[in-house]
Amino acid sequence: MTVIVRDVRAEDAEGFARVRRAAVPCMLATAEQLVFDWAHAHPDSHERPLVAVTEDGEIIGTVQQRIAHDAPEPGIGSVNVYVDPARQRIGAGTALLRAAEEHLAEQGARTLYSWVMDTPEDRAWAERRGYAPSRSAYFLRLDLTTAELPPLQEPPAGVELLTAEAFAADPRPVFELDALTTADEPGDVGAELDDYAHWRETTWDHPLHDRALTTIAVVDGVPAAFSAAQTDGLGRYSSGMT
């Protein structure tokens, strides 16, 4: 079977999201979200989403790639390949990875990071292409239709729990808290949030961001902690960071 790698088009959004959901079911992915992300990518990230398609135009693989423009260390990039589980082992992933690596190298990337599923096959696939194991991350799932949740507790004295909607008129205090916590978040690639306008456009106004379910703890009138909620309109909720 011939596999063709090309730049993504607006009409590819639903197929792109379908492949991501099939490859990593615990990730939220919608066509609306993807079109938004593509349109609002930071110019310094040099994002270039690609798709792998069959001769008849079916999308069977995708790749997300970017320069970590907000990292304190220059020359770091990320490349994440997703292939429809029913269409693996026909070269789509290899072709997508090769095209992405060439693009990121042209943009100055010297070190690349990637997510792979924690299976012997996926780890071996990445290692054969020069990637070394780093750290592991885990997705935890809870069925809210059957789970017995713990009883709600009253917040400590002096602490008020608000939704993100309470900051709709001026979310800058939330941005300042997000910047502090993001800088302290453990991971292979650090990030420094210093562009409030871009954060407001791409995080605060992101289609998946559910302000009604995002909770912010306020102490003496100042945001001190938050739990960001993301929802996809398909009955699924995801933690966007706590």
Summarize pLDDT for 95-123 with one digit per residue, the tens.
999 999 999 999 999 999 998 988 899 99
Residue 1: its pLDDT value, please? 74
Residues of the chain with pLDDT under 70: none
Residue 213: its pLDDT value, please? 97
Q: What is the pTM of this model?
A: 0.86
Residue 72: its pLDDT value, please? 86
Residue 228: its pLDDT value, please? 97
Q: Where in the chain is the domain with CATH 3.40.630.30?
A: 3-128
Residue 70: its pLDDT value, please? 86
CA distance 81 to 77: 13
Class of domain 3-128: alpha beta
Residue 71: its pLDDT value, please? 86
Residue 191: its pLDDT value, please? 80
Residue 222: its pLDDT value, please? 94
Residue 234: its pLDDT value, please? 85
Torsion angle in degrees (nearest 10) through CA of 198, 200, 203, 207: -110
